[in-house]
Structure 1
Amino acid sequence: MKIETSQLQQLVITGLENLDPVKVVTENFEPGRGTITISCFGKAWTADWPAMSGRTVEQFFSSASADYLANCLSRGIQKHQYAEGDHADFIRKTVLEKRRAREIDPEQARESFDRAECMSMNDVLADWNYESLWMPLFGDVYDAGSADWPTEPNPDYTYLCLIIDAVKTAFLSPESQS
């Protein structure tokens, strides 16, 4: 068994507008290699970088884009998510476009149009008729880019980016560099 000790830097950022206190722990293993853990209100995110061109975690983090950092801290997080709620208008508009383009037959158009009332994307996915009725309209909605389904900002992404901006500001402040 091998046991090593290392130097950790911890910042606690308070007094933030619309955010609870943010705790940041960084560890620089050697020049250009390190890790960061950020926690706020019971949630935590962590990332490590094995190659940062000789920079410290603090320097690297401060210079990286919020989009890149959000993806490193929460793999696969998306800026937008499918919108919640009633999508009947979107479904009906798509039915009409596909029918006018003769991509679906009149019977399928009528059934889809009539069943659109109060449906959400989750209702479409749960429909036992999904492949025959909805796939010709929307493609594979399990593939997020397949249809222009209504989207909205992802609140988890927005929240994480607020935290990232606070951490970047803290790393650039003179108080954190002492």
Structure 2
Amino acid sequence: MPTENKPAEPLKIERSTVTKLVITGAPRLDPITVFLEDFGRRDCPTESDPSYQTAQGKITINCWDNSWNAYWGGMGPRTVAEFVADCDWHYILNCLDRGISSTVFSGDALHALAKKCIVQRRRQQTGRHEWELGELSKDEARELWRDIDELRGIESANECWHQSRLLTELFGEEWHYPVGDKAVEENHKFTYLQRVVEAVQEALRQEQPQQLAG
């Protein structure tokens, strides 16, 4: 039997409120465009309040050729602007770029760490530091000093395994601990995003008194 064509169900359409802000004048930053989108409230019953609802919202931030966004499904009674303004910048930054760290591996930092290790081990200063291995002879120090130039070219922590022999001679079998903790430099992407987040939060806090007055 031929199947009957069922009438198409109507599309579901939901409206949200979007606010656009353009922030200029932030130190060392290009103009920042911010889109704040409030999706209304959703049911979030609790034992004390079965009818409790929480707000949902999304923020999108553009600065030069960078873009970040984050969504929150449990903002309590606040709008997304109020929520972002109220939160700590560390939290907002991590939501915009999850997993980003304030430091990043550096081949130059590893080279400097290796030099420090050789000097301190050669001068028998191991007891005052955390190097796993002990004193170096003059010849051993000279040979290691020549070899560590290779470390400058390492671009990521994973590439360190290609220099495992040299790093073991410097720092011992557990070389990945000092390398992971100390062969780092400032992550400029993190610092940049921090300045963006702080500028956005400052602008949102300035907006709130105006909205209340209006």
TM range (shorter): 0.7 to 0.9
- The residue that corresponds to 1:164 in the other structure is 197
- The residue that corresponds to 1:94 in the other structure is 117
The answer to whether the 8 Å contact 2:56/2:75 transfers is yes
Report the TM-score when normalising by structure 2: 0.66
- The residue that corresponds to 1:132 in the other structure is 165
- Asked whether 1:173 is paired with 2:206, we answer yes
Specify whether residues 95 and 121 from structure 1 end up closer, same or farther in structure 2 by C-alpha distance, changes over 3 A only. farther
- Unmatched 5+ stretches in structure 2: 1-10, 42-53, 127-131
- Asked whether 1:48 is paired with 2:83, we answer no
Q: How many angstroms apart in 1 are the aligned matches of 2:95 and 2:32?
A: 18
Specify whether residues 53 and 98 from structure 1 end up closer, same or farther in structure 2 by C-alpha distance, changes over 3 A only. farther
Q: 1:148 aligns with which of 174, 182, 186?
A: 182
Equivalenced residues, count: 176
- The residue that corresponds to 1:20 in the other structure is 30
- Asked whether 1:35 is paired with 2:58, we answer yes
Specify whether residues 69 and 3 from structure 1 end up closer, same or farther in structure 2 by C-alpha distance, changes over 3 A only. same
The answer to whether the 8 Å contact 1:33/1:51 transfers is yes
Q: Percent identity?
A: 28
| Partner SS state of residue 103, structure 1 | coil
- The residue that corresponds to 1:78 in the other structure is 101
| 1:148 Cα offset (Å) | 1.8
Q: How many angstroms apart in 1 are the aligned matches of 2:90 and 2:152?
A: 29
Q: How many angstroms apart in 2 are the aligned matches of 1:68 and 1:165?
A: 12
| 1:73 Cα offset (Å) | 0.5
Any idea what the Cα deviations from partners look like across 1:110-142, whole Å, max 9, x if unmatched?
44333124742617965786222214517454x
Specify whether residues 86 and 80 from structure 1 end up closer, same or farther in structure 2 by C-alpha distance, changes over 3 A only. closer
| Partner SS state of residue 35, structure 2 | strand
Report the TM-score when normalising by structure 1: 0.77
Q: How many angstroms apart in 1 are the aligned matches of 2:136 and 2:150?
A: 21
Worse-matched range after superposition: 100-109 or 72-81: 100-109
Q: How many angstroms apart in 1 are the aligned matches of 2:158 and 2:201?
A: 40
| Partner SS state of residue 55, structure 1 | coil
CA RMSD of aligned residues (A): 3.4
- Unmatched 5+ stretches in structure 1: none
Any idea what the Cα deviations from partners look like across 1:13-62, whole Å, max 9, x if unmatched?
12333211111111111243211000011210000111123222111111
